[in-house]
Structures are given as C-alpha cells and as structure tokens.
Amino acid sequence: MYQIRTDLALETQEKMQEDHVELKGVRFLEEKLSPNLTVSTVVIETENGAKTMGKPKGTYITIEAADMDEEDEDYHREVSEQLARVIRQLVRLKKESLSVLIAGLGNREVTPDALGPGVVDNLFITRHVVKEYGKYAFGKQTVNRISSIVPGVMAQTGMETQEIIHSIVKETKPDLVVAVDALAARSTKRLNRTIQVTDTGINPGSGVGNHRHALDEKSLGVPVISIGVPTVVDAATIVNDTMYNLVTALTQSQAFAAMGNSLEKLNDAEKYELIRELLSPNLNAMFVTPKDIDESVKRLCYTISEGLNLAFAGGCLHTTV
C-alpha cells in the first residue's frame, strides 16, 4: 500500500479510515473548542494497534489551529493556553515541583528545522536561580526547575542527539524531558497550523526521513514528552494531492471523462508506481516548505514557548491555566 509521509498520528488515523482499515486497540476523540480551534486525541492502547499505526503505544494529542499562521496575538495566546493544558494533561508525575529539561531539536541554520532552537530562546529558565538562591528567589512556595539545551544536529556536533541528551540527563537528573522539533505532514493545509504533543518521545530528524536514535523513556530513563509542528511536506504529498485534484477535474469534464475515470480506477499500488516515476530521479527526496516560513517559524516559536512557560509556571501542574 502506498504510504504518504507524515509524522502526525492524526493523519495516519485518517488514512487508515480512508482505506477502511480496522483499527483495534486505537481510540480517537475530537473536541471542537471554537470554529478555528480543534483538539484531537489518538490513544494507541495495544501492540497490535501500534503495529497497524506504525507508531509507539501512547497518547497523541493534536491541536489544529486554522489561523495559527496569522498575526493575531490574542489567537496565539489562546493556542498557547490550550497547549499548556495539554502538556499538563500528559505530565503524570505527582510531585510538588519538577526538574524539567527542555531540548530544542533541529538545525538553527535551516529555517524549517529551527523550531526547537527558537522555542528554547524564549523560555523562562529557572534551574540555575533555584540552585543558587533557592525557590524563594521567585517569591513562591514551589518553583519548577527548568533547564534547556540545543544539541544541534550530527553534522554540526558529530554526536547523536540521543547521546548528548542522555549524558545531560545522567548528570542533571531531571524528572522529565520535553523535546521540541519540526515535523512533516501529509496534508499541506496542516503546515504551520498544527501542534502535536505526545508522551511517546520522538526520533530526531524523522521529519525529513533522517531517523536517529529515539528520545524516549526507554533510552533516557525518564518520561519524555515531545512537541512538534509540521513545517515541511514530502514532494510525494504534493504530487498525490495534485493527482487527486486532476482526477476530480477530469471526471467532471465531458471531454476528458473517460481519462478521468481510468485514472480514478487506479489502485494504491498503481498510484505508487505512477508517483514514483513522476518523482524519480530528482524529486524523490525533496521536501517543500511555504515561502513565508521565516515569519511562520518565528510566530510558532513564541506560541510554543509561551505554552511551555504557562505549563510549568509555579510548582503545581494540576491547576488550570
């Protein structure tokens, strides 16, 4: 079966529904908070469900914000507050205060991949102050100890991201790791408008098919929450969308109805072969991003960092924002 490249569990679930694949051990819930803000939850409960979805067991919460690419401070604040609620929902540690390491993954020099470093630049870091002066330096009874790291990419450091993060975890002993990275989407409409939060960890570089060692509880020894935004789409996605629109247009035209019907009858394997021929040899490794990606990533960095700051403000993670 031809698979469109995506890091979003929501899109994988949608594709399974389109293909009429029975999803046992997978629960789905959708909540529409406003006309332009929807929260969807995919819970993979069994190993069979994980195998079918091609993703680890766990909870995947997706915030779809149709206007997140617009310059609307009030709307971005609403998204940040919702992100904070989702993060608190996934943090299941029952402690008065937490030590949290936030890792901004990606390459700062490549704009579509600079989301993680940009988020870290805007965080409210507290670990060093609490360690030096105590929690009362902030005038509060409980303060979460927040630290951060931008590990770069292997081409810059010569080291796996997992090796760097593991060493820091071993030395600083945080209760929780939060990893922020750019993702790839199946649908162009979700570019820069969707935030996925999951408790399953992340594979750095997976957004562009450059898989590295996973950052998860098994590899790091502490719970890992990952936050990602799709900033690129695979070239195959655009070809697939174009083919769908072409077939729709042809079947509605009397002159080309026969051609449109013949293309519409192609099965997944035949579509795969056709798309592979169209992409080969120069486009099969191409990823595409919007032309205004600089401003989009800048806004996203502020939105996500504000969500993290709200989520970990004070010491109690179980109060409402």
pTM of the predicted protein model? 0.84
CA nearest to 229, candidates 146, 321, 302 = 302
pLDDT tens per residue across span 288-313: 888 889 999 999 999 999 999 999 98
Decide: 157 and 164 in contact? Cβ < 8 Å. Answer: yes
pLDDT tens per residue across span 184-224: 888 888 889 999 999 999 987 554 455 568 899 999 999 99
Side chain identity, residue 203: N
pLDDT tens per residue across span 16-44: 887 778 888 999 999 999 888 999 999 99
Mean pLDDT of the chain: 84
Three-state SS for 59-114 is: EEEEEEECCCCCCCHHHHHHHHHHHHHHHHHHCCCCCCCCEEEEEECCCCCCHHHC
Contacts of 253 (CB under 8 A, 6+ apart): 260
Decide: 124 and 90 in contact? Cβ < 8 Å. Answer: no
Tokens of 43: 């819970």
